[in-house]
Amino acid sequence: MARIDLVDLAHSYSGNAADPESFALKPVTMTWRQGGAYALLGPSGCGKTTLLNLISGIVTPSRGKILFDAVDITPLSTQKRNIAQVFQFPVIYDTMTVGQNLAFPLKNRGVPKGEIDARVAEIARLLDLTPYLERKATRLTADAKQKISLGRGLVRSNVAAILFDEPLTVIDPELKWQLRSKLKALHRDLDLTMIYVTHDQTEALTFADTVVVMHDGRVVQSGTPAELFDKPAHTFVGYFIGSPGMNIVPAEVRGREARIDGHVIALRRNYNGLPAGARIEIGVRPEFVDVAPPAPGLLSAAVERIDDLGRIRFARVRIGDAKFAARVPAGFSIPDKVAGLVFDPSHVHVYADSRLIEGSA
């Protein structure tokens, strides 16, 4: 159990001399609280697995330091780091029974037999593996094997953190929910730091207290699910999280007004002094834009289609060349192919070169 600090940590698989822009992980400095449930979220190839492998020591960083409770452990091998990791695909020791598989990490560390048995029994109970303890692990289903892998990750009680690298990829959707809630319950019970890598936003948002979004080797935002939803720090976070994602439209912004297609939208804050020459966009989630009958004073848009998601309907519209999604209020029907858009000013954000700009009051 430990607090983990990353200090200016960066990694390139082609060595330190490589072009900084080509680094798999660009320099990051951040802190993982003891006992936190974190999700590392991002598309494939964004560097999240690299970050995980750096923390566990499978990969040695090109630059920077990793501290466990303020002690620099960067040069230590994986074995000495006291960390657990669960991989995407199940890893099973073929010749061993389920019980021996679970006991393996403890046995290797010379834990007394009585303690091993108690711990294995407990983990097996938590993961519903008790009836299979005496069975050979090879013949089990992929689901069961992955549970054993999870079990081996959880079996040591004193680890600095448990790292999960998309551990539920091979698991059936229904069982996925169960296992995820189980992990969450385990997290509450055991007071362990857990870092969970995924590219699935639902998985990340339901598991973690803090979601760390990565994009192109950079950590672009880290915050609670609500923060990521309400105030994306980067346009990438805006459209990666939420379904449909945030609308991002180029606009001219001056003071408390944004101008799209010559139409003015009111803003909550004052945006004087935006960086000169930057690409200015406004971002607003579809949930905070309503379609209405066309009227003077409303931004008008061409309606392309309506997506009915059951509880909520979204209109896919077009403003000039830009695609846009907006909520269709209940009971509202669109008579012709043109609609007006009503913005909620408190949820319209301004981005300069993809980064959120905090206006002044």
Partner 1 sequence: MDKTINQKAWFLVLPVFLVVAFSAILPLMTVVNYSMQDTFGNNQFFWNGVGWFKELLDPTTDLGERFLASLWRNLFFSAVILAIEVPLGIVVALSMPREGWTVAACLVIMALPLLIPWNVVGTIWQIFGRPDIGLLGYTLNSLGLHYNYVANDLDAWATVIVMDVWHWTSLVALLCYAGLKSIPDAYYQAAQIDGASRWAVFKAIQLPKMNRVLLIAVLLRFMDSFMIYTEPFVVTGGGPGNSTTFVSIELVKIALGQFDLGKAAALSLVYNLIIIIVCWVFYTVMTNAGAERQPAKGVA
E strands in 108-209: 162-165, 194-198
Measured from the CB atom, the residue of 65 and 135 that comes closer to partner 1 is 135
What is the DSSP annotation of 299-345?
EEEEEEEEEE-SS-EEEEEEETTEEEEEEE-TT---SSSEEEEEE-G
The DSSP 8-state label assigned to residue 150 in this structure reads H
Nearest distance in Å: CB 10, partner 1: 21
Joined together, the tokens standing for residue 360 give 């002044």
Report in angstroms how near the CB of residue 109 gets to partner 1 at its nearest. 5
User: In 10 A of CB 32, how many CB atoms?
Assistant: 22
Q: How far is the CB of 39 from partner 1 (least distance, A)?
A: 20
For partner 1, the closer of residues 167 and 232 by Cβ is 167
How far, in Å, are 103, 117, 119, 166 from residue 123 at the CA level? Answer: 10, 10, 6, 20
Provide the token pair at 12. Answer: 């390139």
CB of 164 to partner 1, least distance (A): 12
**Given the complex with partner 1, which of 132 and 240 has the nearer CB atom?**
132
CB of 96 to partner 1, least distance (A): 7
Minimum Å distance from CB 80 to partner 1? 9
| Closest separation in Å from C-beta 78 to partner 1 | 4
| Nearer residue to partner 1 within complex by CB, 148 or 325 | 148
Tokens of 11: 């990694």
Residue 8's Cβ-count burial label (10 Å; 0-12, 13-18, 19+) is: exposed
175 or 357: whose CB is closer to partner 1?
Answer: 175
Q: Which two tokens stand for residue 27?
A: 């320099």
Q: How far is the CB of 182 from partner 1 (least distance, A)?
A: 14
Closest to 67 in 3D by CA, of 147, 160, 139: 160
Helices and strands (H, E) in the chain, number of each type: 9, 22
Nearer to partner 1, 52 or 341 (CB): 52
Strand partners, 283: 248, 349
Q: What is the b/e burial string over 250-288, where b = at least 16 CB atoms within 10 angstroms of the residue's CB?
A: ebebeebebebeeeebebebebeeeeeeeebbbbbbbbb
Residues at the site binding partner 1, with contacts judged by CB under 8 A: 53, 56-58, 77-79, 83-85, 87-89, 91, 93-96, 104-105, 108-109, 128-129, 131-132, 135-136, 139-141, 143-144, 147, 149, 152-153, 175
58 or 121: CB nearest partner 1:
58
For partner 1, the closer CB: 111 or 352: 111
Q: Are 162 and 193 in contact (CB under 8 A)?
A: yes
3-state helix, strand, coil in the chain (%, to 5): 30, 35, 40
Which of residues 25 and 260 has its CB atom nearest to partner 1 in the complex? Answer: 25
Measure the CA–CA gap between 215 and 213, rounded to whole angstroms.
7
**Nearest distance, CB of residue 12 and partner 1, angstroms:** 18
